[in-house]
Amino acid sequence: MAAATMTVIDPVAALAELAPVGADPVRGGWSRHLLDDADRGMRAWFVRTAESLGLAVETDANANQWATWAPAGATGKALATGSHLDSVPGGGPLDGPLGVVSALAAVSRLMAEGHAPARPIRVANFAEEEGARFGVPCLGSQLLAGELDTGRVRDLADASGATYADVMTAAGYDPGAIGRDEPRLRGIAAYVELHIEQGRQLEPLGTPVGLATSILAHGRWRLTVTGRGDHAGATELDSRRDPMVVAAEVVLAARDRAVAADPATRSRATVGKQRIVPGGSNAIASQVTLWLDARAEHDVDVRALVDAILTDAANAAAAEGCDVEVAEESFSTRVAFDAALTDAMDDALGGVPRIPTGAGHDAGILSAHLPAAMIFVRNPDGVSHSPHEGASDEDIRAGADALTTVLRALT
């Protein structure tokens, strides 16, 4: 269908419109998590904006949103584009709203110029890409692709104790219907995702956009260290079983093991989240749960890195008289994006740099099931997952220009 008003979306203005939604007064930045009030606000914006363009909007059983432009003459499998609208706690304004906003902007431009696509164009907002609420990144795209045990997903609990099934039911979804969506996957010819660059590779090259080559293998592990709660002042140091001491050793081991790894593996490991019980300033903790994020060039490199860190954790726990349990929450193998699709995009753009990334994306999940590729927009400081994440207005518009060019060429 065609947009009657021929509205053209300016991505900079659209991002400004979204800025109040989920602004976090405590952490700074933005906190938008699956089906919370902020995420609902972002989703409502998606529906409102897509419908203003005359797009057909639907939400699948996995809570992913889709907006489709299928004018007369557009047949066969769709070219999909988009990203996600959720965020990490206290995250930046562009990861990943930039991709969704730019996709809608690109479609609006193609409509306004009278482009007649030979195939439908579909814009996606994938649910829970950051995994901030339930601990599993790319949750919506992984469910779509059938890469997760649905029973396990339904039992996942957020920090308040609400399960994924509870949250989905309260929002009007059927948690029993989640999982691989074969008809939807079969209806997509390829997926192109635009995203803010996470890192600083394009700035030295002096270019506003680039294409992705690969994603590092990466995963997330939960370590639960159990000791003995006690009094901070009355307990002698030599009789303590303090899980915080073990947690501190794990934090240091993550950095030290990554630094010591072969530079060719591009290894990195981070502990960015802890939960302390009981959490009193004058009490020795009884239990500490911490989350380890580890990444490297190849799967085997990640496994070797994590094994070394977990050995250090076990040794530290034994020395402190604590127990440690480990659970792998997620693991994504190394992704190499579709070469033919990337070459076609490069041809359309007239030749742009190609760069790898250490960050996971929905495009990486879908790449195992259909051709997928990515466009990156220059991040001058390289900062991401932070309120300080940014891009110039000119580069944001250059990214939307690039995506428009690619969608025009591929449809």
Q: How far is CA 187 from CA 33, 71, 191, in A?
A: 28, 16, 11
Give the contacts of 45 (CB within 8 A, at least 6 positions apart).
17, 18, 21, 85
Q: How far is CA 283 from CA 135, 248, 338, in A?
A: 28, 16, 53
Q: How far apart are CA 210 and CA 197, in angstroms?
A: 9
Q: Can you give the length of the chain in residues?
A: 411
Nearest CA to 365 among 182, 142, 39, 75?
142
What would the DSSP string read from start to end of 108-165?
A: HHHHHHT---SS-EEEEEETTSS-TTTS-TTHHHHHHHT-S-HHHHHH-B-TTS-BHH
Widest pairwise Cα distance in the chain: 79
pTM of the model: 0.87
Tens digits of pLDDT across the chain (411 residues):
444 457 899 999 999 999 999 999 999 999 999 999 999 999 999 999 999 999 999 999 999 999 999 999 999 999 999 999 999 999 999 999 999 999 999 999 999 999 999 999 999 999 999 999 999 999 999 999 999 999 999 999 999 999 999 999 999 999 999 999 999 999 999 999 999 999 999 999 999 999 999 999 999 999 999 999 999 999 999 999 999 999 999 999 999 999 999 999 999 999 999 999 999 999 999 999 999 999 999 999 999 999 999 999 999 999 999 999 999 998 989 999 999 999 999 999 999 999 999 899 999 999 999 999 999 999 999 999 999 999 999 999 999 999 999 999 999
What would the DSSP string read from start to end of 41-71?
A: HHHHHHHHHHHHTT-EEEE-TTS-EEEEE--
Q: Measured in Å, how far apart are the chain's first and last C-alpha atoms?
A: 16
Cis bond before residue 90 (omega within 30° of 0)? no
Amino acid at 323: D
Amino acid at 24: D
Eight-state DSSP code of residue 185: H
Give the contacts of 280 (CB within 8 A, at least 6 positions apart).
none
Eight-state DSSP code of residue 255: H
